[in-house]
Amino acid sequence: MEERDEDDEEFCGVYMVVKQAKIIFVNANLRTSRKHFTIAHELGHHYLGHPLQNGAIICDSDSVFGKNKPEQEKEADYFAACFLMPENLVKRKRTEFFNDCPKQTTLFPADQQLEQQHQLQRYLSDYFEVSMEAMGYRLDELKLG
């Protein structure tokens, strides 16, 4: 068995079609939250009907949340975000968080807001089992950041 750092990974995920079989590979070295996102991202390539190159779409780590990535990678990310973090549920959990959140009075209002936003992001990323990064991206997208 070979142990590798996450930095060494050649790919995050691959979507592949072999005859009738549609196959998703995910890099076993990724953290669980990253695996979830990658699998949903590959499902996105499938459901959005993206064209394959030599029978596959190979997604490397740079392609997740990169600014200059190809359009179909952005689409697959958006699919994954919607799939893993549905808007209605994000909004409901966000409301629950603010209802349960004890009021902090020791911090200045600006710090308090920043700290609370950070806690919200952590709370939601735990709930949806996605990375903090993915959750932040989704909150921005829904204009809840």
Question: Footprint of Zn ion on this chain (CB under 5 A)?
Answer: 59, 73, 76
Residue closer to Zn ion by CB (options 55, 145) is: 55
Residue 112 vs residues 53, 91, 93, 101, 115: alpha-carbon distances, Å: 49, 21, 20, 12, 5
Alpha helices in 2-144 (DSSP H): 32-47, 71-84, 87-100, 109-128, 132-141
Residue closer to Zn ion by CB (options 61, 125) is: 61
Q: In whole angstroms, how close is the CB of 71 to Zn ion at the nearest point? A: 11
Residue closer to Zn ion by CB (options 59, 130) is: 59
Q: Name the residue whose CB lies closest to Zn ion.
A: 59
* Of 4, 62, 5, 64, the residue nearest 40 (C-alpha): 64
